[in-house]
Structure 1
Amino acid sequence: MQSDNVTSLQWFFACPQFIEPLLADELTDCGAESVKIGHAGVQALGDLRFGYRAMLWSRLASRATLQLAQGFGKDQAELQALIDSIDWQQHLRPEGTLKVRFFGLNDDIRNTQFGAQWVKDQIGDQFRSQHGVRPSVSNTPDLVVVVNLHKGNASIGIELNQHSLHQRGYRDLGTHAPIRENLAAAVLVRAGWPELIASDAETVALIDPQCAAATFLIEGALMAFDIAPGLLREHTVAERWLGHDADLWQELLEEAQQRRATGLAHTERFEFWGNDSHAAAVMAARADWRSTDLPAARWTQCDLKAMPAPTLAQVGLVINSPTIEASANVVTLRPLFDALGTWMASLPSTYRGALFAEADVPIALTNLFYSKEYRFLNSETECKLYTFDKLVQKERPTEWISDDLANRITKNLRKLKNFIKQGHTDAYRVYDMDIPEYAIAVDRYADWLHVQEYAPPKSIDEKAAEQRLQQALLTLPAALGVDPKKVVLKQRRQQKGKNQYEKQGRAEQALIVSEHGVRFKVNLSDYLDTGLFLDHRPIRYWLQQHAKGQRVLNLFCYTGTASVHAAVGGANRVDSVDMSATYLEWAKENFSLNDLQHDPYRRYRFIQANVLEWLYDCDEYYDLIFLDPPTFSNSKRMQDTFDVQRDHLALIDDAMRVLSAEGTLIFSNNFRKFKLDAEVGEKYAVQDYRKQSLPLDFERDPKIHGCWLIRHR
């Protein structure tokens, strides 16, 4: 079938999130009759000529879908009626191949894989009823059908781009690049590169001092020389679609080729310069550049501090996208951003700049005034683009070393001097929001620092809070004599559900610390907590001193640190109970670190269970029980949730039921507003142990936990 290329058609062009307005402008320039911005894409009305032109020229789109039908789709019956309303023979041969991409769910379809198969069957049935054959499925199909379900509505279309439109053809599909081509193009648009191209300047430069894969330079050159991205791809449009107009497509290709020839006639106007400190990056960038048949560019390999001066182009844009390691922090990044700011400020006054990086980079360390910031999403990582209309550094740079914070830490260390000198532990707290402006807690673990940022109140300006944090991170290494690369930052926020048990990152900065002769594994980066609650140090040591010959039970055992102390202290039996398999494995590692792994008599047991249910059914007795429950927890027994304030009396009763006549229950929790039920004191002998259980390094925060020793009367 030959499509009528002047009939208005409904299109949807997908794109990365946050660049939809830019894509809408681009589609308008391509001839769209109207556009409507959606989520991660733009709906457009236009004829086939518009659709082909957009697929050929769009620098921002990812996919192009021609919408065939829209309507209700809350169940299979409604969706089938919508599928049957389309004459599929206009789009696909009976013996052809297809693929279905299915998104969303409805009342009947609860799985997208099933949905895709079901839609394929419905289309196949239409062909079989009329021709006795049906199309087959293929990964390289003649036609890609796209079905979207959302809130009872459905849309059905066909994808007319043969490959993703972000792919230009100058990079192998399996090659990893820090940024996709269409996102790089969007960044250049926001940075003002098209305006420089359209200016009356005689010479224009685009410079990337950390070019990596050179995506910005190549996309910038394609814009400058008016080269359609579709010209670089071997296949752009779905040519086996029955509605394909080969003559129209060839006409648009020839037009694009003529525009490229015209654009390349002005090569002397533009300068492109790529630099990187890594030789492999420069080699890869040059190879990709050559594959596009672009005019010669300038390539250098050196550190930012050794960057030579650019040639004197009349105007220029410096685009930066620094490669930042996952373990990097403001301290390790300071030399990079300082050098970047200094070099950019040395450029001619007619140059402008842009920096594209993850959202939390310390942009202030460049000492430059940025003009605007834009939000982007690079894969799943939230990023920002900062633009600099003028590359001028501040006359009075920010003081990044805080004397107040350094002096307070020195004062704290002086107070802890004897404690540290005794060598009982190499893991302790050195600072805890002593100065309100620096809302962090700082713990030392051997030769590492673990920094937790308290979420600032809403009344504090977000940028001011971020600058204070960066200032603190730059101050800490020198104040505490720690390698800047050994500083780990985490933001402390209230966790819900399983978050407290799940990984927070992948840096895996695990190390061994010691405490009263016991060794523990801690992990400073991958989880909400490190594996060792420092404020429980005295009560763990109390267990070690009182455990000899005793049967010990550790409930909500976490990583088993209290269990290890009890075992080292000579306990006859240590049972550790927790619902998390991850933490129980960690507990076993801690036992192994202290040569407690060989246990032929089953003295040390690790029990994965819901603690509340396990304790309720327990029929054994223990002489020492350590009970440190969470503030909240899920439980089938207590109104579906456990609340330590509401439910602690029942929990203590259950624990006391399995406590031997002369035994001791150590009950603690970290709920700051917690009040022990008076009935506990009426039933049992209770010793308030809060003061004795508070270590010297936590004296400033007496509400860090509560602790009571409870015995039978």
Structure 2
Amino acid sequence: MKNLFATTARGFEELLKTELSALGAQDCQLKQGGVAYQADDSTLYCTLLWSRLSSRILLPLTQGKVYDDVDLYSTITNFNWSDHFDSKSSFLVDFNGTNQAIRHTQFGAMRVKDGIVDYFERNGEARPNVEKAYPDIRIHVYLNREELIVSLDLSGDALHLRGYREESGKAPLRETLAAAIILRSGWQQGTPLVDPMCGSGTLLIEAAQMEAGIAPQLNRLYWGFDHWKGHDFACWQQVRSQAQIQADQQAQKNPQPHFYGFDLDHRVLHKAQHNAKQAGVAHLIRFKQGDIAALKNPCAADEIGTVVCNPPYGERLGTTPALIALYSVFGQRLKQQFGGWNASIFSAEPELLNCIRLRSHRQFKAKNGPLECLQKNYQIAQPSQTALQQPNAENSQSAVSNGATLAPDFANRLQKNCKKIEKWAQQQGLDAYRLYDADLPEYNLAVDRYADYIVVQEYAAPKNIDPNKARQRLLDAVSATLQVTGVDTNKLVLKVRQKQKGSSQYEKLGNQGDYFDVQEYGAKLWVNLTDYLDTGLFLDHRLTRKMVGEMAQGKDFLNLFAYTGSATVHAALGGAKTTTTVDMSNTYLNWAEQNLILNGFEESRQHKIIQADCLQWLAECKQQYDLIFVDPPTFSNSKRMDDSWDVQRDHLKLMTLLKNIIRPHGTIIFSNNKRGFKMDFDGLTALGLQATEISAKTLPLDFERNKQIHNCWVITLR
């Protein structure tokens, strides 16, 4: 009997113990990272050939106390290596662990390598070669503080490398992990198994091999025991032959396929089909291209099986709107198409699993590489008649009232707002408007529509709110938004908004270049929903821009802190004699130019666009204007400015400069977004100016709840 150690991923030790015991292993003992067991030669080869969960199977050779590299080297050189392999065999050292003296695994591996080479040379034999690709012998060394264990790796390459997967998708599961997911899923051999997002097919292939009686390592050509002196070739040949006979006998039974894989990507399905063929189970699996939103049960009505799946998941929250929709739709299809079945879903995002809206009866933790993952098992109830209705824009009222969303309060409020605001927006000729603005304290976000797109903007949560709870509410709200609005998943954009300081309001988020135009009171304006924190259009200033257009007829118009020039477009369309657009950002001035071109105006002497620090430009300006629109930031400390800007502190300085360029009967429209802004009336009086607040008049219907979103003033000479 040999003492052996089978390694496995953390969390799979108990599963592995059960598997090894079934293969005939004796005295199985759970250890951290694996299972220690005893086996004769036949059982040893069986575990190597048949274990679906082991990463490697090791034969411990020697162990002892190691305090530094001298102890390590001495332990290695004093071991009788020639009992296990000769100097003609190439070898490789895998070193794991450190202690206070040996702090780097590469250094530890080098000292072990030196010790083995020196052992053979001291015994008058040739120096063995080190080979990294396919060594004849692999030495596995594990160091935990002072405890050293040196083993012979009988596996060769890691056992998750079955040999059938030559091609895989972007995020393939390891075969050992896939096998564990299947074993934990509750699937019973002989019953249907469906993977609706199968990727390269690993889950289905592992399950099909289990049912077909195919040893996972049957086609492996290279083993770590090939050049081991303890290798019993005849015993190995007998074990392998028996495995081959079993696979052949199962194949001759000509079983009917009941493994089904679906994926939207036809290219990855081609890889899955190739992998299944290599694994010897292509005849058992049916692959078909299909969208999860149209998933149908491929089995007869009286068949009950298991749905198993590893849906995609994103590590960045910004990538999740489509994923939220994916999991939500997946849950709906499970309930509609697979009543009475079991389902087992594996994901690194527990919050996304909640979007499936099923109650799990078992769950397991596991790791997929560095990611902490969760596998949840569900028993799907038979669908009721109301659940058969697919939620969409037409029947979202019934979906919400029947509790088909994770955020019913939010969904009901959003739906009520949609009914009121969308009708009003259509009458006003508006493509861009707000549907929800933190109406409910629990859902602190804004929902805006831009033509066919929806933008969900999350406001930064207070520090006393649990981040996980806030994240889950956001995911629920996004799911409900998709459901209520009926917008396509790829047309929902999620942004996280925070209190802006300085130039961070112009922070670049991406470079997709996805611009499209929206209508606003007859003006066409470019927006970009993905590349910047803002979209290029401040929706709350809509009525102010309309007012500018109505006042601009025959006047010289100036737009300061112009952003993307939307007010300039309204002035030009309103018949302004000239327009001048000034901003410090070339990016936004280029945007303003494109807005003018979109509406039939070219940059010219009539329509000037100027890149400059607005305050510096004002100090040097010699021209006078009839109508000035100025909407400065609340605060800015841009590197292009000589000094910082604070609208409360500096607005009187701005008015002093504006007084010098406004004509006697001219008008200044001054707006800003600072909450609690206090106009300095005494200072204005001293300058010979007077101000009338028109904030309430410039607040559109879709912002009527947020009275303080901006303040607006008409300022004239006294």
Note whether the superposition's TM-score is higher than 0.5. yes
Q: Which runs of 5+ in 1 are unaligned?
A: 73-77, 110-114, 198-202, 478-482, 578-583, 608-613
Aligned: 1:218 with 2:205: yes
Aligned: 1:372 with 2:362: yes
Correspondent of 1:691 among 693, 696, 708: 696
Query: Take 1:147 and 1:656, find their aligned partners in 2: how far apart are those partners?
Result: 76
The one-letter code matched in structure 2 to 1:274 is F
Q: What is the match of residue 275 of structure 1?
A: 260
Range moving further from structure 2, 652-661 or 590-599:
652-661
TM-score (norm 2): 0.63
Correspondent of 1:353 among 325, 343, 356: 343
Q: Deviations over 1:674-713 (max 9, x none)?
A: 44479x6676678756435533321111233456789999
What's the CA shift for 1:273?
A: 1.4
Q: Deviations over 1:383-402 (max 9, x none)?
A: 75442346533576495144
Aligned: 1:445 with 2:450: yes
Q: What is the match of residue 342 of structure 1?
A: 336
Q: Is the contact between residue 553 and residue 574 of structure 1 (CA under 8 Å) also seen in structure 2? A: yes
Give the fraction of aligned pairs with identical amino acids, expressed as a percent. Answer: 23
Correspondent of 1:476 among 476, 485, 492: 485
Q: Deviations over 1:297-350 (max 9, x none)?
A: 26375877765544978x7434356789987477788776545433322x6xxx
What's the CA shift for 1:445?
A: 0.9
What's the CA shift for 1:219?
A: 0.6
The one-letter code matched in structure 1 to 2:258 is W
Q: Which structure has the larger Rg over C-alpha atoms?
A: 2
Q: What is the match of residue 231 of structure 2?
A: 247
CA 1:621–1:695 in 2, change beyond 3 Å: closer, same or farther?
farther
Correspondent of 1:592 among 591, 594, 610: 594
Q: Is the contact between residue 182 and residue 207 of structure 2 (CA under 8 Å) also seen in structure 1? A: yes
What's the CA shift for 1:439?
A: 6.8
What is the aligned residue count? Answer: 644
CA 1:266–1:274 in 2, change beyond 3 Å: closer, same or farther?
closer
CA 1:396–1:229 in 2, change beyond 3 Å: closer, same or farther?
same
CA 1:219–1:572 in 2, change beyond 3 Å: closer, same or farther?
same
Name the SS for the 1:275 alignment partner. strand
Query: Take 1:311 and 1:298, find their aligned partners in 2: how far apart are those partners?
Result: 19
Q: What is the match of residue 624 of structure 2?
A: none
CA 1:208–1:14 in 2, change beyond 3 Å: closer, same or farther?
closer
What's the CA shift for 1:191?
A: 0.8
Correspondent of 2:277 among 259, 276, 290: 290
Query: Take 1:700 and 1:366, find their aligned partners in 2: how far apart are those partners?
Result: 33
Query: Take 1:630 and 1:336, find their aligned partners in 2: how far apart are those partners?
Result: 45
Alignment of 1:472-551 (within 5 A): 472-477=481-486, 484=488, 487-488=491-492, 490=494, 492=496, 494=498, 510-515=515-520, 519-524=524-529, 529-538=534-543, 548=556, 550=558
What's the CA shift for 1:172?
A: 0.9
What's the CA shift for 1:473?
A: 3.1
Q: What is the match of residue 427 of structure 2?
A: 421
CA 1:617–1:337 in 2, change beyond 3 Å: closer, same or farther?
same
Query: Take 1:83 and 1:567, find their aligned partners in 2: how far apart are those partners?
Result: 82
Q: Is the contact between residue 193 and residue 204 of structure 2 (CA under 8 Å) also seen in structure 1? A: yes
Aligned: 1:168 with 2:168: no
What's the CA shift for 1:447?
A: 2.8
Query: Take 1:376 and 1:99, find their aligned partners in 2: how far apart are those partners?
Result: 28
Aligned: 1:59 with 2:52: yes
Q: What is the match of residue 700 of structure 1?
A: 705
CA 1:183–1:599 in 2, change beyond 3 Å: closer, same or farther?
farther
Q: Is the contact between residue 368 and residue 392 of structure 1 (CA under 8 Å) also seen in structure 2? A: no
Query: Take 1:410 and 1:650, find their aligned partners in 2: how far apart are those partners?
Result: 41
Name the SS for the 2:164 alignment partner. coil
Q: Is the contact between residue 523 and residue 531 of structure 1 (CA under 8 Å) also seen in structure 2? A: yes
Q: Is the contact between residue 205 and residue 316 of structure 1 (CA under 8 Å) also seen in structure 2? A: yes
Q: Deviations over 1:229-275 (max 9, x none)?
A: 333333354868xxx55616985675465356457656769764133
Q: Is the contact between residue 355 and residue 479 of structure 2 (CA under 8 Å) also seen in structure 1? A: no
Q: Is the contact between residue 632 and residue 672 of structure 2 (CA under 8 Å) also seen in structure 1? A: yes
Query: Take 1:174 and 1:319, find their aligned partners in 2: how far apart are those partners?
Result: 18
The one-letter code matched in structure 2 to 1:532 is L
Q: Is the contact between residue 225 and residue 264 of structure 1 (CA under 8 Å) also seen in structure 2? A: no
Query: Take 1:517 and 1:121, find their aligned partners in 2: how far apart are those partners?
Result: 75
Q: Is the contact between residue 147 and residue 155 of structure 1 (CA under 8 Å) also seen in structure 2? A: yes
Query: Take 2:20 and 2:512, find their aligned partners in 1: how far apart are those partners?
Result: 42
Q: Is the contact between residue 168 and residue 272 of structure 2 (CA under 8 Å) also seen in structure 1? A: no
Name the SS for the 2:162 alignment partner. coil
The one-letter code matched in structure 1 to 2:203 is F
Name the SS for the 2:222 alignment partner. coil
Name the SS for the 1:702 alignment partner. coil
Query: Take 1:434 and 1:394, find their aligned partners in 2: how far apart are those partners?
Result: 33
- Tell me the C-alpha RMSD between the 2 structures: 6.6
CA 1:283–1:637 in 2, change beyond 3 Å: closer, same or farther?
closer
Q: Is the contact between residue 13 and residue 64 of structure 1 (CA under 8 Å) also seen in structure 2? A: no
Name the SS for the 2:217 alignment partner. helix
Q: Is the contact between residue 561 and residue 587 of structure 1 (CA under 8 Å) also seen in structure 2? A: no
CA 1:289–1:451 in 2, change beyond 3 Å: closer, same or farther?
same
CA 1:26–1:319 in 2, change beyond 3 Å: closer, same or farther?
same
